[in-house]
Amino acid sequence: MHWRSLKSCRYIHLYEDPSAKTLDINVIKQYVSEKIPYAIVDARAEFTRYHLKGYEVDSFARRLASIRVKNPLTKMPNQEPLYGEVEYEKRVLKGEIRGSGVLYDGFELQTLLSQLIGEEESTLSHAHIVFTSRLFATWDEGDGRYHIRVIILGNPSIISTTGVAEGPAMPKEFYRLQQTLLAIGATQQIELMKERFRGRYIDYSDERLNEVMKGYVMQALFYQIFGEAFCSSRRCRLYNAHWQEELIEAQLSKQEFCDHHQSLLNQLKQDEEEDRGDDC
């Protein structure tokens, strides 16, 4: 496929996560506008607040409760959610409380959210990128368990501002020290131990969150525009990091993209400039 034909993605919608205090959706919008110059980029309110109609809250809350992962070692749907689970989801949807501590099946969550997008914005002309504090995971057939993810690619692409702290693994030394402290019963020292590794992982309300999320947004856009999901280079923002230190290297290095992916962006910009020249 000639890359010019891939410019069908004309609209990019970014949805804020109000609970992520260090995430500035307008900073992300400005960055995306510079990288994908032909697209119209807008920043919207939190996804369900933007799309969900008031009369849909009760049924949507029940569906959310039904995709909870109750046990990460079993792929059993939560077919009969408890009353309290549904009420909790209602309160989150209404903005009465912040959702936390609940794990969802990532692909099921993506499917639920996609069903809220109107028909006119469900085409490949529109990219929906959702920041959310919800924690989600995908089932791995290889080891038979769920794994927390930062991003689920597709439409919408969903990016967890909680998952970025909980998903990628801490440095190996952290776990060795953690096991030692657990073995001697010094559990109160574990939180203090995290200070020793400060800077080597992304924490909640991390001041580097905007920079990190720029990379995840570009992963979503490369997937939709070029059909390329991840990169094998650890110095490219499209690298699928499984460790915190890999994530920091991929997202905070001076070089943003590998040569191949930078060339794709350059082609987009060059084409845009040629189109403007033709219009003069």
Task: Write down how long the chain is.
Answer: 280
Cα–Cα nearest to 32, from 227, 214, 207: 214
- Residue 6's pLDDT is 56
Amino acid letter, residue 177:
L
- The answer to which of 103-107, 193-197, 206-210 has the lowest mean pLDDT is 193-197
- Residue 280's pLDDT is 53
- Residue 279's pLDDT is 62
pLDDT in tens, 211-266: 999 999 999 999 999 988 899 999 999 999 999 999 999 999 989 999 999 999 99
Predicted model pTM: 0.91
Q: Count Cβ atoms below 10 Å from residue 173 Cβ, excluding itself.
A: 12
d(CA 203, CA 195): 11
- Residue 141's pLDDT is 93
pLDDT in tens, 90-132: 999 998 988 778 999 999 999 999 999 999 999 989 999 999 9
Q: Is the distance from CB of 52 to CB of 44 less than 8 angstroms?
A: no
Amino acid letter, residue 183:
A
Residue 96 has which token pair? 């009465």
